[in-house]
Amino acid sequence: MTFDELGLSEKVLQAVAASGYTTPTPIQAEAIPHALAGRDVLGIAQTGTGKTAAFTLPMLSRLESGRARARMPRTLILEPTRELAAQVEESFMKYGANHKINVALLIGGVSFADQEAKIMRGADVLIATPGRLLDFSERGKLLLTGIEILVIDEADRMLDMGFIPDIERICKLVPFTRQTLFFSATMPPEITRLTEQFLHNPARIEVAKAATTASTITQGLVASHSGGTAKRETLRRLLRGAEGLKNAIIFCNRKSDVAIVYKSLQTHGFPVGALHGDMDQRARMASLDAFKNGAVDLLVCSDVAARGLDIPDVSHVLNFDVPTHAEDYVHRIGRTGRAGRSGVAYTIVTRSDQRSVDDIEKLISRKIDWFGPSLVDLPAAEAGAEEERPRSSRGRRERGAAAERGTTAERGERGGRGRERTPRAEREPVAPRAEREDDMIEAVEAAAPAPRAPRPVREERAPRAARAPRAPRQPRQEGRPERPQRDAQPVPDNAPQPRALQERTPERAPERAPSQDRYQNDRGQDRRRYNNDDNDPPVIGLGDHVPSFLLRPVILKPLKANADAEAAED
């Protein structure tokens, strides 16, 4: 079967041919016809089988007619992680090269304003993570009433990340008449209940057994001693001795271990990058692009990259830690051996990981062979090798403090406070508890300060009625006694005069010849006199007993003759 037989549009077929694909995968061959017919689809397939193209190609064919309105996208694709959402966007850009459609991506770590601008222009395809989508919807920036096709991808991963309540809320916001395409690699009971609730008579497509691994992947177990140092040494030995290693993804269970392994490999000269959930979106995309472009050969990551990431031609997958959940093992090793290629997956196992390995072998229904010696044949650890201890901060602090202190004998040799303890038989007998308590009481009493002398008792006062009468108050004498006169002190002739007297001296205030229109008030100030003759205008003035700034008269209409005379006189 070829893509021409699936009923896709001519523009989509041209884009597929330009991408180099001629034959559809089993999931694509069975899901595309049902999706084009508008029927709900339940696809169960392992990773790397082409599930993204199984819903991307029929959606492009159906979106050729019609346009989206502002804030009302036509189709919605839900992805559990940002990387998967960005990967689906790339698929639409590749297969929709001949279409004029608007694709909007709503993920965390990106500017809210830029995403809102894309929504306001109208989005034919909306790719989003559940959290950011509900954020837009609650703010009133997005309306889901125009959704025609709803795609829920990696549903089992949604379950592991706790997104099922969000998925249920979103399914109630979209129209009841929409078409739903539901894809998952495994079908736990919770996912089955979700499909029964929101899918209507779906076409069930199962191209492989649930939770099975691809036959093109060579799997192996590598035995290692416990402890982080021993496991990192095993990892480096495995990377140096692996045959045909082109690039590899290294998975760790904890984000803190991702940073430790990344620094260890970088220190030993390996070209390596890191990817985990605590990194910001720009750093995550930069690290992923560097691995895709071949700038780095190794990528140390957490389970954030275990689901659905399509990185072409990954030769090896190495599990530094055995996954806690057996289903994660299927998704991790599914990053290699994709699209019919061969791949290799190795898992480093310690003695404490045996139960997790048994769960994985039970899930995939096959036995995984050992690569090298097994745990039983593993030689004993060398003396002083690091053993696995509880991962608590208190235990690390105690071990670090003990290592710094050293043994008691070593501290005595270094001259520290520590000294060798006397054997128990040679020690002095300890006094009974009652005697020790008596000694403590005596020591406390001896060290206590002397008691204070008692304060003298105050005599009681007699009642007011029994007191002796107070002497009557003497009347106040009228008048004040005269102060004694001081003898006048002779003042020298050359003594400086006070400032007030200096201002009134003839040198500072020369006498001025009186004129007929001037007079002196009682303060000795010269004032101008205005005569009220018949020809003079009426004068309004104030007396000399008021402040000086109010003494200037106000002339309603001064005569020019008087003004000229005053100017000549001055």
6-7-9 Cα angle (round to 5) = 125
**Residue 346, strand partner residues:** 220, 318
Contact status, residue 40 vs residue 58, Cβ threshold 8 Å: no
How many whole angstroms separate alpha carbon 514 and alpha carbon 158? 113
Q: Which domains does the chain have, with CATH numbers?
A: 3-206 (3.40.50.300), 217-364 (3.40.50.300), 518-569 (no CATH)
Confidence of residue 393 (pLDDT cuts 50, 70, 90): very low
Residues 6+ apart with CB under 8 A from 136: 106, 115, 116, 119, 142
Give the per-residue pLDDT at 280. Answer: 80
In 161-299, which residue ranges form alpha helices assigned H by DSSP? Answer: 164-173, 189-198, 228-241, 255-267, 281-292
Bridge-based pairing of strands 518-520 and 526-528 is antiparallel
Maximum separation of any 2 CA atoms in the chain, in Å? 143
Strand stretches in 424-470, DSSP E? none
Residue-wise pLDDT tens digits, 171-201: 999 999 999 999 987 788 889 999 999 999 9
Instruction: Please report, for residues 80, 195, 310, 312, 341, the alpha-carbon distance to residue 292 in angstroms, rounded to integers and kept in the order given.
Output: 21, 35, 10, 8, 17
Structure tokens at 428: 């002095």
Contact status, residue 356 vs residue 319, Cβ threshold 8 Å: no
How many whole angstroms separate alpha carbon 130 and alpha carbon 114? 18
Give the per-residue pLDDT at 414. Answer: 42
**Residue 539, strand partner residues:** 555
How many whole angstroms separate alpha carbon 267 and alpha carbon 261? 10
Mean pLDDT of the chain: 77
Q: Given strand 41-44, what is the order of strands in its sheet? A: 103-106, 125-128, 75-78, 149-152, 179-184, 41-44, 203-206
Structure-derived torsion over alpha carbons of residues 560, 563, 567, 570, reported in degrees to the nearest 10? 160
Q: Under DSSP, is residue 360 helix (H, G, I), strand (E, B) or coil?
A: helix
Give the per-residue pLDDT at 474. Answer: 67
The pLDDT > 90 percentage for the chain reads 34
What is the identity of the amino acid at 135? Answer: D
How many whole angstroms separate alpha carbon 359 and alpha carbon 317? 19
Structure tokens at 96: 């929709």
Give the per-residue pLDDT at 479. Answer: 58
**Residue 220, strand partner residues:** 346
Structure tokens at 178: 């929409």
| Sign for the pseudo-dihedral over CA of 175, 181, 185, 188 | positive
Q: Which of 262-266, 297-301, 517-521 has the lowest mean pLDDT?
A: 517-521
Most confident of 30-34, 286-290, 374-378, 547-551: 30-34
Q: Identify the CA nearest to 399 among candidates 416, 381, 386, 413.
A: 386
Residue-wise pLDDT tens digits, 327-371: 788 888 888 887 678 889 999 999 999 999 999 998 888 899 998
How many whole angstroms separate alpha carbon 132 and alpha carbon 106? 6
**Structure letter (DSSP) for residue 469:** P
Residue-wise pLDDT tens digits, 451-474: 666 666 666 666 777 777 776 776
Confidence of residue 283 (pLDDT cuts 50, 70, 90): confident
Most confident of 113-117, 278-282, 444-448: 113-117
Confidence of residue 494 (pLDDT cuts 50, 70, 90): low
